[in-house]
Amino acid sequence: MTTAVEHGLLDVSTRRSEDGLVRRISHGDVAIETHSVDDSTDPDLDGAWWKAYLKGIRPVPLAHPSHPATVRTIDLFSGPGGLALGFSQAAAELGMTHDAAVAIDQDAGAVGVYGANHSVSRTWTDSVSMLVDYQIKGNRTGATFLYEPEMVGDEWADIVGNVDVVLAGPPCQGHSNLNNRSRRTDSRNELYLTVPAVALAVGADSVIIENVPSVIHDHQGVVQTTIALLEDAGFTVETGVLKAEQLGWAQNRSRFFLVASRRTKPIPLSDVSRALGSPARNVLWAISGASRKEGDHLLVPAELNEDNVRRIDWLFDNDEYDLALDQRPECHQQGTTYKAVYGRLYPDRPSPTITTGFMTPGRGRYIHPTERRTISAREAARLQGFPDTYEFVVDPSEPPSRTQLAKWIGDAVPMPLGYAAGLSVLLPKM
């Protein structure tokens, strides 16, 4: 049995074999098949493929090339590695080896998590703006670099000419619709422009940048300026909003992606999205069977005060998913536009966007659908696309705080989005 969706030259399908599942990705004259272990009888073959992934099972090429292609990346604003995770999965399914050359983020703990999971060759915890020397003339469609950007410092000499793809998730708080104080004009927005500068400085062939959808409305036009800079350097650029739920994932989450390549043309993101598209899966699909390994600090439940315990009990005792007004804090009892706050997750629907507040009932709809508690960090990680084998730890003798876990997991890029963007730039290189 095969499930497949075709759009133009791109075809993605999954079939069951005697000893597991086979994923076939074809584009033009190229077809690649990889195998994954699966002992279920789930008729949802794509769902079974991703459930195997969530258990930590990596795909293995059916045909083993004698010299598999290696794709080297530098990851700017890397966080704990969510974007790299999706990109790495795409590379693996195409029979490539992902070599994480450099990961850069000012959060040293996040970089430590990245290194524990991606075998990164080098990490850096200073600002990306200190990494590259560049100057831009003009903005938006008329923008150009005044001179060829250069990496700052001799320690980067071995990187120049040896990076294939720049991955980047510039700070999004300045672009977020939740930031009413400095939205669109936040100085952090300019960090977006360091990405094309680094790409040119290291000689990368491709670029993947992700951010919130509202980034396109930035007051200084950072997206439009970046497109102009890359096109002036010979890149072909594609942009679009990828939605996790439209890719069959169990979370409603949208991110704006810019993908660019200069020796090949990226597959339009709308085409990739259609080829991967399937109905959204639900919360229980994602979190059922999650690792419950003893001693896993991601399973430690959030501490709840008496009021929140009472609110959770009310939801379960009354078989409700939205908290009644008279059960809310007094400031909400005259009505609220945030109905999901103190809400219980629907078991048969995708989750809302996982944020850094997923351990706090008052920050959104984060109460477990069948148990009287908020979802655990491990369950939130699964909803974000992190497999059970992903280690959120820097020092084994000192587990991270719940605040750190919430930030790392909630701010991460969901794996399916990085996977789709990865296919966009990697498939044309085959």
Q: Active-site residues: which are they?
A: 172
Cα dihedral 390, 395, 398, 401 in deg (nearest 10): -50
Nearest in space to 244 (alpha carbons), one of 387, 365, 154, 352:
352
Q: Break the chain down into helix, strand, coil percent, rounded to 5.
A: 35, 20, 45
Which string of DSSP letters, residue by residue, matches 75-134? EET-TTSHHHHHHHHHHHHTT-EEEEEEEE-S-HHHHHHHHHHH--SEEE-S-GGGTEE-
Tokens 């720049």 map to which residue?
Answer: 166
**Distance between CA 341 and CA 364 in Å, rounded?**
4
Task: Give the number of other CB atoms < 10 A from CB of residue 51.
Answer: 22
How far apart CA 379 and CA 376 sit, in angstroms, is 5
Asked if 184 and 218 count as a contact pair (C-beta separation under 8 A), the reply is yes
DSSP string, 214-277: GGGG-TT-HHHHHHHHHHHTT-EEEEEEEEGGGBT-SB--EEEEEEEESSS-PPPHHHHHHHH-
Beta bridge partners of 361: none
Q: How many helices (H) and strands (E) does the chain have?
A: 11, 16
Q: Is 139 helix (H, G, I), strand (E, B) or coil?
A: coil
Distance (Å, whole) CA 375 – CA 347: 12
- CA–CA distance, 249 with 47 (Å, rounded to integer): 9
Cα 114 from Cα 82, distance rounded (Å): 9
- 3, 51, 55, 146 from 43: Cα distances, Å: 10, 13, 18, 57
Instruction: Give the CA-trace dihedral at 246, 206, 258, 285, to 10 degrees.
Output: 20
Query: Residue holding tokens 């084998």?
Result: 389
Strand-pair partners of 240: 257
Q: Which residues pair with 257 in a beta bridge?
A: 210, 240
